Structure 1
């Protein structure tokens, strides 16, 4: 039973050692006390003469459970349902032993009828509001029957054995529901919401109905003097928020070009959406990445678009006595598709890659004047997770164990130096080696590919964790240039953390026709 209970819920009887000449107050261990006096007058105010002396001692004694219980009292939700389940648990334990006694046929019948009645009620009711009006009488009848069963001389070993059997079954059921809950949670995270599927289908149909939007600006798309942003995404509204938030905070959107890389399934929906919406003076190009993949496809790489890969890394402290010493860090890194960038944008020398789960809150133009020296990529480094701590996932490759990991989300890439150093070729080689040797994780090859080639951006650029961390402060959120919703609870899902959704939702137009028709309301 739980410690925090309503006064009406009876607690289990506890044996109390008697002292000579001192009567044992019968109510002290049976149920919680009434409202405790906190007037500071030594506990005398508000006490009536009919209250037992034992209760007064319980109130006045420092460190008493009674004092702690009253100070931490909370109303139990659906307390009657919980009480009925407890009664059913105890009744099932006593029933087999009572049923074996020939002289207790009447009690056996009453016990069986009460068990069946509570089973029927609990199968139809999950909250106190669902319970029938006469439930209090049924509970009292069950309590009386249990009391009779306890008074009957039975084999305690049988009762104990039955209690353990029921407990094991309950534990197995709890484990089943826990696994089922985890599976459904992952399914909800990885499945596109119905409203967004509707949006994608509607936009695809509209694209083939209306060809008036089929306009191209090839010169501007490949002009290396402009600021080029790349987004890998299959989510229309997610990529819209990234672009809209970037443009809204830009000092000059005239020089901004956004390249949305998607797959063939979402290409026409994306194209119709971005050709039909304006983002100040910025332009948006939608590219189907599928035609670029066959040139690099083999048994070690998937033949479809890959979004940034996310990992949850958990570390446990030396003290195994408590899980409080453990910590969890979410990291996201480049996928296979990111290593096609030099081939897709052959005329560009520098790009900024934005994940589709970010929101931009400040002007990003200073990134284009960033001097990264001999480094290939600017990224946020996560020194709380070092390569040596994930070496079991990296195989036997050579690496510096004290090197920090890095995050995707906001990445400045020097494509000219990328090509010069053959970064893509290094990556494919590492992936093939890890797959052929069946060691480590091929997905983590990105960490090894960019070892010693990362230019560490200031941590104020990106605040990560809005997709899993409930404890981020409002001040740190407002201070960050980019908010990264890494984790399972993306802002476009119902599972998203509500208090962080407001920063994402304000860059969507709720009056849009397609969003209204498909009931897209993250």
Structure 2
């Protein structure tokens, strides 16, 4: 019986023993997986719960943000977290890329995604600049330019070496220690290590609360940092709840990444604000000139007969910037073979009218004459006067083409264009007696005699302008709606434009523009489209050597091209009169400023 009983029980014990071994194996395996995360394999995992910043209010509510991130953590989704921030702009269009891949498989031609972005609203004054990388910097810079425009160019040029590296290293140690401390503190057998870790955390917190720079750190900080490193090493060597540590570290990573993204957007915003804000010295100059105009009554404008003489060469400038307008006129006159037949018409707004008037009454430009007009006081025969009651300087846009996964290719497909504003379509009405005018933007510098422009035979064309055939109307069809147009029509640039006012009046260019602009709801984006459609097949293409554009955003313009050009156009954010201007191009602009002028010295105007 005993032998029979032992034979019956033996197999059952063996089965239970096998199950016990299996359970033990699973327990060991479950401990190895967190250990693998602790050893660094978790770097291949990332939380999908990143939410792009809209404003900085979430930074003050970190607890709620951490809870949201914890709920969204998924340790089974491998991603390369080191490349995610760099390719943020690319990831934003991932759904579009998927659609394009499907189209490519089916043989459907892929159209590039075009984004037309106005660089600024410059209706108040031109002093703010025209609000949008150095070529070949790196891929991340190219992607950044598509999102932030020329801020990234300026950011690369002004990049500085990291300062206060010790403070940053201490903060990193503090983050890691805080991540390990909860797991260590829960184990009674590690009380000594828990107290040591806690003491080091408190010491670093006290030091960092009083020190924001390396120069503020106390003398014995290296010893404290060394003790913290030793405590962290001990905590890492202890078998802990690696899942919690991993979650905590990834929470800290997400918070840090959110803050980095926020500060990136904040710095880009501050850059745009610096571009759009009138410099204090320029504001001082405008105010001082206005006061002096009403104080001094000894000037008489005179020479009014030249202003409407059609046999002379008439140049028109729309601007609210005294210095910029003066540079344009001075550079044009200095390179003219004969300045006696040159007449300049500066159209400005009521805010800058008296400052402009006093400046050009006090300063002479060889034998040329300058007329200053207040566009707000002109009698206009348009039914909708509210749209032209203020000065609209030339508008600028950035056109970005998302047509490739390659960052450098996308960078090469970013174009900056400048175009006429609403105010420019009043020219035939303002200058009723004139037959031809040359329109100059106030961000140009003339380097050659422009008199040959007046001898050009444009045939039946209305305007002579430099065209940009890298951007065509067909690529902007998503903005044009149902309008009829030739998709191969090139966009044209303002800056240097020869206008046949007789032909303009015959074809009713202004009326056509107002109809198109009204149809397109008068938005800034519609201005470039309405202008292009209005002058479709009416542009006389000037030779590319007449003008070189991009000196306000492009670092890659060759010196040879600059020397050959008759006109330099500083289109872009980085205007030469701003501190943000590109240094190597400023020299061509600054040479036409009279640095001995009394008002410039009193207001410390030194671009």
Name the TM tier (shorter chain). 0.7 to 0.9
Distance in 1 between the 2:161 and 2:428 partners?
A: 61
Matched, 1:193 2:193: no
Cα separation, 2, equivalents of 1:123 and 1:333: 52
- Report what 2:409 is aligned to: 325
CA distance in 2, matches of 1:156, 1:422: 76
- Equivalent residues in 2 for 1:87-106, closer than 5 Å: 87-106=173-192
In the alignment, the residues of structure 1 paired with residue 283 and residue 383 of structure 2 have an alpha-carbon distance, to the nearest angstrom, of 28
What secondary structure sits across from 2:520 in the alignment? helix
Corresponding residue of 2:534: 449
* Alignment correspondent of 1:520: 605
Three-state SS of the structure 1 residue aligned to 2:493 is strand
- Cα pair 1:379 1:407 within 8 Å, conserved: yes
1:492 paired to 2:564 = no
Equivalent in the alignment of 1:233: 319
1:394–1:440: 8 Å Cα contact kept in structure 2?
Answer: no
Residues 273 and 110 (structure 1), Cα distance of their counterparts in 2 relative to 1, 3 Å cut = farther
Q: Which residue of structure 2 aligns with residue 481 of structure 1?
A: 566
Query: Any idea what SS the aligned residue of 2:182 has?
Result: helix
The correspondence of residues 281-320 of structure 1 with structure 2, limited to 5 A, is: 281-292=367-378, 295-296=381-382, 298=384, 301=387, 303-318=389-404, 320=405
User: Gaps spanning 5+ residues in structure 2: where?
Assistant: 1-37, 42-159
Q: 1:193 to 1:149 in 2, by over 3 A?
A: same
- The CA distance in 1 between the partners of 2:526 and 2:166, in whole Å, is 51
Matched, 1:471 2:536: no
1:153 to 2:220 alignment: no
Alignment of 1:24-423 (within 5 A): 78-119=164-205, 121-122=207-208, 128-129=214-215, 131-292=217-378, 295-296=381-382, 298=384, 301=387, 303-318=389-404, 320=405, 322-326=406-410, 327-423=413-509
Q: For each residue in 1:405-435, what CA deviation from the matched residue of structure 2 results, as whole angstroms up to 9, or x when unmatched?
A: 0000000000111011100000000011111
Point out the more displaced range, 286-295 or 491-500: 286-295
Could you tell me how far apart the structure 1 residues matched to 2:162 and 2:428 are? 60
2:391 and 2:203 map into 1 onto residues whose CA distance is 56
Against the structure 1 CA distance between its residues 168 and 245, is the aligned structure 2 distance closer, same or farther, given a 3 Å change threshold? Answer: same
Change (3 A) 1:257 1:300: closer
The CA deviation at 1:317 is 3.0
Distance 1:75 1:190 in 2: 28
* Separation in structure 2 between the aligned mates of residue 332 and residue 315 of structure 1, nearest angstrom: 17
SS at match of 2:372: strand
| Cα pair distance change 1:309/1:99, threshold 3 Å | same
In structure 2, what is the Cα distance between the partners aligned to 1:345 and 1:76?
A: 57
What is the aligned partner in structure 1 of residue 23 from structure 2? none
C-alpha distance in structure 1 between counterparts of 2:345 and 2:370, whole Å:
6
Q: In the aligned structure 1, how far is the partner of 2:200 from the partner of 2:386? A: 63
Whole-angstrom distance in 2 between the partners of 1:487 and 1:121 = 45
Contact 2:471 2:491 in 1 (8 A): yes
Question: SS at 2:593's partner residue?
Answer: coil
Task: Note the C-alpha offset of 1:336.
Answer: 0.2
Q: Which has more helix, going by share of residues?
A: 2
Question: How far did residue 459 of structure 1 move?
Answer: 0.2
Q: Which runs of 4+ in 1 moved over 6 A?
A: 12-15
Taking the aligned partners of 2:418 and 2:309, their CA distance within structure 1 comes to: 30
* CA shift digits 1:56-76 (9 cap, x unpaired): xxxxxxxxxxxxxxxxxx997
- Tell me if structure 1 keeps the 8 A contact 2:467–2:493: yes
Judge conservation of contact 1:230–1:353 (CA < 8 Å) in 2: yes
Bigger mean CA deviation after superposition, 328-337 or 177-186: 177-186
Distance 1:151 1:406, change over 3 A: same
Alignment root-mean-square deviation, CA: 2.4
Structure 1 residues 101 and 516 mapped into 2: Cα distance closer, same or farther (>3 Å)?
farther
Contact 2:388 2:423 in 1 (8 A): no
Deviation at 1:122, TM superposition (A): 4.8
Aligned residues: 450
| Range moving further from structure 2, 164-173 or 450-459 | 164-173
Which SS does the other structure have where 1:339 is aligned?
A: helix
Alignment-derived partner of residue 458 in structure 1 = 543
Aligned-partner SS, 1:204: helix
Higher relative contact order by CA 8 Å / sep ≥ 6: 1 or 2? 2
Distance in 1, Cα, partners of 2:570 & 2:208: 40
